[in-house]
Structure 1
Amino acid sequence: MIYFNIIFAILSCACGFIFLRKTSKLEYLEIPFIIISLSVAITYIFGIFGYLKPGVYISGLLLILASITCFKKSKKHNFKLDIKNIRYLIFLIPFIVFWKAVDSTYIFSEWDEFSFWGPSIKLIYEYGHFYTKDSPNLGHFIIYPPIQQTFQYIALTLLGWSERTILISQQMFVLSALLFSASRLTKGNLVKTALLFVLSIVFVYSFNYSLSNIYADSLLAAYLTATLAIAITIKRKTDLAILFLAMFVLVLVKQIGLVLSLLVLFTFFSYNIAKYGVGHLKNKKFYLQIIILSIAIIVSYYSWSIYLSIYSQVENPIPKSLDYFMSSEFHSKFEATVNEFIARIFNNGYFNTGHGIINLSFITLLIACVLVFVVTSIINKKQSKEIITIGLSMVFSFALYNLFLLFCYLVFFSEYECVRLASFERYSATYSYALFFMASAILISSLPEKKIASLIYSVVIIVSILYLSPEKMFKDFQKIVPGEYNYQRRMNVERLVAELRGYMKEGDTSYFIYPNSNGFENFVYSYLQLPFKTSRDCWTIGKSYGNDDIYTCNRNISEVASGYKYLTIYKADDNFWNDNKKFLSEGSSAMESGNYKIEITDGKFYLKNITQ
């Protein structure tokens, strides 16, 4: 079956490539991104109606049928393979390098790969449908839209389950978006495209993202960049259709995608007014375009919202009451959060390059981008109005986006996360990446077209790789393997899970304990135990371990684990057994690490050794 799937995938992509090239005259380097976007959009639509797996094959069949129909309607079959087009193959190098770099033994090892991104795709693959109210171990993350997982599911359906396959599919998605943006913004100049494409990969690591995990942030940044690239380069009806598709998908990459798609719409509106003048406001076709793009956003957002209301019966988090925002408690939190925000935007390390050559703060990066827009508008006087408009609209959007993030911290995040602005740089860099990419693209596009420039560009590419690439990128080029420390922690959990799974039957549940820990092993455990339901909170119980301890629940094991059938202890301490030794059944002993069966006898809670 796997050989059939591989042939089917190759045939679908080839037919999609031919169809898009013949009908839309897209640049060769732009087509992979469009094929992926079409595939995930079609599969997603089938998925929300409960036909996820058929959607994978139907999306491929539609590409094949579209190509056949195109050939039948065409009077001249003028699609030729030009030997000159072999030069495009050089752009496959980054795809091949990252694909080959993923070690054959690769497994997940990062925190969020176990808290949501890994469990969500594992459940989707296990059951063949998007997550529902009955999906275990996802918690409040169940409201996250599933476009990233949809593409991963396509790859897994065709190739079979493998964490390595999941990572590679993520890499291909990100790289295709970056290649699309580089090609679109350099107008087909291959040397400039190559330069921008290579730099775009360097930027991924400079913003402290990576292509060695399945976090959605790098995909969101790359997809936002591609969507913006389309928004400011629309010339034909097919471009509008591509933007419609991209905005539909962008909303579903992550919850914040809705806000980002609205900012793209704002940039599209501003750019068109700058390019065609205020009189363009009287153009009915322009308003029709705005309406069409708005429909893409609305349909995309509500498709997932309606799915959640039907199958998951959950709602988006609701802000606290107005009285809370008037309280002294909120004022203290507001002051602490704003002060932290101000401090963080001036901290270096927001954008880094290799050898410490460039180390920018949030503010410095913003100033650098503004200077690029100003300088290039002076150099390129014919397009100065458009460049300034792009710069102003994106800088304004950048400010709005970060203010919205600040609002989210204050309203939706826990107080612990709020006052510390947990992961702020990672979230903020989504739009920062797009802004910096756009500034770099405009600067590169403004460079002279002379032949001698090709040599200069090539040298710049080599220098950028050797001197500007962060060390993490070089390591990922060579081999992508899990971090040794987290790998060992995962292996320790796997040994306990392997033992326990031999006793578990369908419908069984298990509880996890690791006192005075931050929860990493708990989420690893939840991921490995899927599709069995496990505990999600209170993995450390008893008296608090200190003022900074936000995880320990002041309860005993019988209070938290009643209703579960098994207990796994990763590493117990004296405090745990001092409080809970009384629950051991006759003949059972207190172990530092091991599995127990939970028994309820005459209404009393007991722990019986499984591990000997």
Structure 2
Amino acid sequence: MNEIIVLLSIMGYTAAVKFLTREDAELSLFSAVSLVVCLLYAFSLLGALKTGSVIVFGAGMLFLILALILITIRLRKDLFLEHFLTPGIVTFLAVLVLFLFKTRSYTLASWDEFSHWGLMTKDMNQSGALSAPNGAVTFWYYSPGANLFQYFFTVISGFNEHTLYFAQFVLLLAPVMVFFRNFSFKTHTPFVILTIAFFYALIIIFFQTTVSIMVDQLLGVYFGMTLVAYFRDGGRKTKSLLLYVPIVCALTLFKASGVFFAIAILFMISVPFIIKNLRTKSSHISAVIIVLIVSTLITSASWKAHIKHKNSGQIPNLIQSSGQSLMDAVRSPKDADQRSIVNNFFSAIKDNGREVGTFNMKNWIIVFFFLFGIVFILRAGKRASVLWVFSTMTLFFIIYLAGLLKVYLFNLGPYEGKLLASFERYTATYLLSFSLLFYGFACPESTFKFKPEPGGIFSFFKQYKLFIFYLIFSAVFFYRYPILKSFNINAVFAHPDYETKWFRNRIRPQIDFVKSKTPANSSVFIVFLATTGFEHRVISYELVPRRFNMGCWSLGKPYFDGDIWSCNIKTKDWFEQLKSGQYSYVYIATPYDVFWQRYTEAFDNSTKKWSDILFKVNYENTDGKHFLSPVR
């Protein structure tokens, strides 16, 4: 439960932000959480991540103590309620405590949690620094924002995988509290409960679970809720834009595509502001707008500069563009692979079979046009904002889809490209932000009326549009999506880690043996035959900080139909691969008879087949044979 102590530090930042800006507690919370991410990022670039994390934690606790002292001195109960016991803050803390209680025994479960996000945080925890090239983390250049926040919790509470989930959920939940700005428990309790239920339902529909350290749902929530916060507020105070500086900067640090979402936010916020100045014939451009734009650009550029500095002036190929234009590839694909990718992509948008949550992409677009049309009719006072936001969101969605197609064509391999790997997850990110934005325009801003007013059927729809929406949502989504039919507290925190736990428990004796025999800074070539790679990723995660092989974990001829992962190489070629990668050890987790027959000459005569699993690689006095000696 040490996670609660870290949470208190974050509440200290919330109190400080609220005191300095005189804004509501919910937006202050959103900004404070993002500010912590940015501070951790700054310390990490300075090479003082662990020390900086302690400083950030200590400063937050100091702010909390000062806030409590201030309230005590003034002896004002209403001040305490105003700062800490608002509907948003109380809901935030209550849901987090429940989440911590329900997930305290959870462990990592999904592929990307082991191969990317969990691996990065574990490496940070052991090194006290950002991941570096030639280390255990292959994708060390991935944006580290969420990992830094998870690391922040582990510094104080210790490294536990459920702590990673808790930290990620703090990031996920804090923006949603913006829905409850200027609310009171007396008049808005039903709305608070329904909104939390709606949020959970959205996450489950689009991403199947709320228990994850994947950053895609985080991007969708940050993008959508930033726009909700600004446009529901109406931008009434220019200075309040300062609260959005850490929010937008943090968004660029969660994932490379976060820069795209940040640009979309800056565009949607800045253009109306500039147009307003032109209408009033004012040449004055607010310094706050400039600060917002410049700070975002600096944050994004600083990460690219860090990557270049660590990688001899080069940006890894995965995040570079191809010389071929997207339009050329769509109109005249240069080969069969590109033609297949283009056809599959457009089929996924308009046809069934690649549903994102409940509907395919084409039907989702129809749904959102219908919903925003209703909001435009009923929101007489905000029609300009509704029209501007929805039209620009649609424009950026088209650009987002084009960028996604470009990734499949130029950045991923033909296998992943033709499969449209993670298509549902990537598109769900944007659809989630669309959903939150619609809900933000539909829900009440400060009053929640229960008594009918005169005005006929149109007035009835205006007053009860939110309840009508809930009925439609329940009728359509709950019927179409099976998991929501049995919506209960266990479904809310569902986490399929049972098979992964079983595998990790089974492999634990081997892992402990390998760890005891290999230095932490060594490199281990892992062999796990006849698999698509998930088991290899789990073992790699367990062996951190040891460097491991990304490919050729399965050696020999294909073991099953469609096996494209096994490397059918000769013993001498395997030796050259080990030599070029400078691997010190080979760990054979699943030896098969066919493997021993194929690669017998790689092992020296003292090897005991089926019992020896760890081998030292000998590069001297060998002609590509008998280069593996058992380690016992």
Which category of TM-score, normalised to the shorter sequence, fits these structures?
0.7 to 0.9
Output one character per residue of 1:533-587: Cα deviation in whole Å (capped at 9) or x when no partner: 2222111123345773332223234343344332222223343222101223223
Matched residues in 1 for 2:208 and 2:64: separation?
37
Which among 341, 359, 363 is matched to residue 337 of structure 1? 341
Matched residues in 2 for 1:323 and 1:458: separation?
47
Pairing 1:607–2:606 present = no
Residue 167 of structure 2 aligns with an amino acid whose one-letter code is S
- For 1:59-98, what aligned pairs fall within 5 Å after superposition? 59-63=56-60, 80-82=79-81, 85=85, 89-98=90-99
Which among 566, 569, 594 is matched to residue 613 of structure 2? 594
> How far off is 1:262 after superposition?
0.9
Matched residues in 1 for 2:171 and 2:12: separation?
19
Matched residues in 2 for 1:379 and 1:457: separation?
11
Which among 526, 537, 560 is matched to residue 577 of structure 2? 560
Greater CA drift, 564-573 or 123-132: 564-573
Residue 155 of structure 1 aligns with an amino acid whose one-letter code is F
Matched residues in 1 for 2:489 and 2:197: separation?
16
> Using a 3 Å threshold, how does the CA distance of structure 1 residues 410 and 283 change in structure 2: closer, same or farther?
farther
Pairing 1:521–2:535 present = yes
Pairing 1:195–2:194 present = yes
> How far off is 1:417 after superposition?
1.3
- For 1:408-487, what aligned pairs fall within 5 Å after superposition? 408-445=407-444, 449-452=448-451, 468=478, 471=483, 474=488, 476-477=490-491, 482-487=496-501
> How far off is 1:64 after superposition?
5.8
Output one character per residue of 1:61-102: Cα deviation in whole Å (capped at 9) or x when no partner: 444666788999xx9786723499475534544323322111
> Using a 3 Å threshold, how does the CA distance of structure 1 residues 366 and 322 change in structure 2: closer, same or farther?
closer
> How far off is 1:268 after superposition?
1.6
Residue 380 of structure 1 aligns with an amino acid whose one-letter code is R
The equivalent of 1:206 in structure 2 is 205
Which among 48, 51, 57 is matched to residue 51 of structure 1? 48
Matched residues in 1 for 2:347 and 2:43: separation?
46
> Using a 3 Å threshold, how does the CA distance of structure 1 residues 459 and 291 change in structure 2: closer, same or farther?
closer
Matched residues in 2 for 1:6 and 1:96: separation?
8
Greater CA drift, 431-440 or 51-60: 51-60
Output one character per residue of 1:212-249: Cα deviation in whole Å (capped at 9) or x when no partner: 22111111111112222234232224421111111111
Residue 49 of structure 1 aligns with an amino acid whose one-letter code is L
What SS is found at the alignment partner of 2:552?
Answer: coil
> Using a 3 Å threshold, how does the CA distance of structure 1 residues 329 and 509 change in structure 2: closer, same or farther?
same
The equivalent of 2:152 in structure 1 is 154
> How far off is 1:455 after superposition?
11
The equivalent of 2:294 in structure 1 is 295
Residue 98 of structure 1 aligns with an amino acid whose one-letter code is F
**TM-score, normalising length from structure 1?**
0.86
> How far off is 1:437 after superposition?
1.3
The equivalent of 2:459 in structure 1 is none
Matched residues in 2 for 1:267 and 1:325: separation?
26
- For 1:242-391, what aligned pairs fall within 5 Å after superposition? 242-272=243-273, 276=276, 279=279, 282-286=281-285, 288-313=287-312, 314-317=314-317, 318-322=320-324, 330-346=334-350, 347=352, 350-352=355-357, 359-391=358-390
Query: 1:185, 1:442 within 8 Å by CA — same for their partners in 2?
Result: no
Flag structure 2 segments of 5+ consecutive residues without an equivalent.
453-462
Query: 2:108, 2:497 within 8 Å by CA — same for their partners in 1?
Result: no
What SS is found at the alignment partner of 1:570?
Answer: strand
The equivalent of 1:26 in structure 2 is 23
The equivalent of 2:173 in structure 1 is 175
Query: 2:49, 2:128 within 8 Å by CA — same for their partners in 1?
Result: yes
- For 1:400-415, what aligned pairs fall within 5 Å after superposition? 400-415=399-414
> How far off is 1:126 after superposition?
0.7
Query: 2:409, 2:417 within 8 Å by CA — same for their partners in 1?
Result: yes
Matched residues in 1 for 2:555 and 2:125: separation?
33
Matched residues in 2 for 1:426 and 1:245: separation?
26
> How far off is 1:50 after superposition?
0.7
Matched residues in 2 for 1:12 and 1:521: separation?
38
The equivalent of 1:355 in structure 2 is none
What SS is found at the alignment partner of 2:627?
Answer: strand
Matched residues in 2 for 1:212 and 1:19: separation?
30
Query: 1:103, 1:479 within 8 Å by CA — same for their partners in 2?
Result: no
Matched residues in 2 for 1:316 and 1:585: separation?
38
Residue 55 of structure 1 aligns with an amino acid whose one-letter code is G
> How far off is 1:272 after superposition?
4.3
Instruction: Count how many residue pairs are aligned between Structure 1 and Structure 2.
Output: 596
Greater CA drift, 478-487 or 375-384: 478-487
Output one character per residue of 1:389-439: Cα deviation in whole Å (capped at 9) or x when no partner: 111111111111111111122121111111221101101111111012111
Matched residues in 2 for 1:601 and 1:64: separation?
57
> Using a 3 Å threshold, how does the CA distance of structure 1 residues 345 and 474 change in structure 2: closer, same or farther?
farther
> Using a 3 Å threshold, how does the CA distance of structure 1 residues 285 and 424 change in structure 2: closer, same or farther?
farther
Greater CA drift, 436-445 or 17-26: 17-26
Query: 1:95, 1:172 within 8 Å by CA — same for their partners in 2?
Result: yes
Residue 103 of structure 2 aligns with an amino acid whose one-letter code is V
Query: 1:186, 1:445 within 8 Å by CA — same for their partners in 2?
Result: no
Query: 1:56, 1:154 within 8 Å by CA — same for their partners in 2?
Result: yes
Residue 570 of structure 1 aligns with an amino acid whose one-letter code is A
> Using a 3 Å threshold, how does the CA distance of structure 1 residues 543 and 13 change in structure 2: closer, same or farther?
closer
**Sequence identity of aligned pairs in percent?**
21
> Using a 3 Å threshold, how does the CA distance of structure 1 residues 277 and 301 change in structure 2: closer, same or farther?
closer
Query: 2:8, 2:64 within 8 Å by CA — same for their partners in 1?
Result: no
Matched residues in 2 for 1:319 and 1:15: separation?
42
Matched residues in 2 for 1:194 and 1:17: separation?
23
Query: 1:271, 1:386 within 8 Å by CA — same for their partners in 2?
Result: no
Which among 564, 582, 604 is matched to residue 550 of structure 1? 564
Matched residues in 2 for 1:76 and 1:363: separation?
57
Residue 551 of structure 1 aligns with an amino acid whose one-letter code is W
Matched residues in 2 for 1:194 and 1:285: separation?
43
The equivalent of 1:356 in structure 2 is none
- For 1:114-125, what aligned pairs fall within 5 Å after superposition? 114-125=114-125
What SS is found at the alignment partner of 2:260?
Answer: helix
Residue 151 of structure 2 aligns with an amino acid whose one-letter code is Y
Greater CA drift, 167-176 or 83-92: 83-92
Matched residues in 1 for 2:610 and 2:323: separation?
47
Matched residues in 2 for 1:316 and 1:509: separation?
21
Greater CA drift, 62-71 or 85-94: 62-71
Output one character per residue of 1:325-364: Cα deviation in whole Å (capped at 9) or x when no partner: 9798735333222211121113266344xxxxxx322111
Query: 1:16, 1:66 within 8 Å by CA — same for their partners in 2?
Result: yes
What SS is found at the alignment partner of 1:169?
Answer: helix
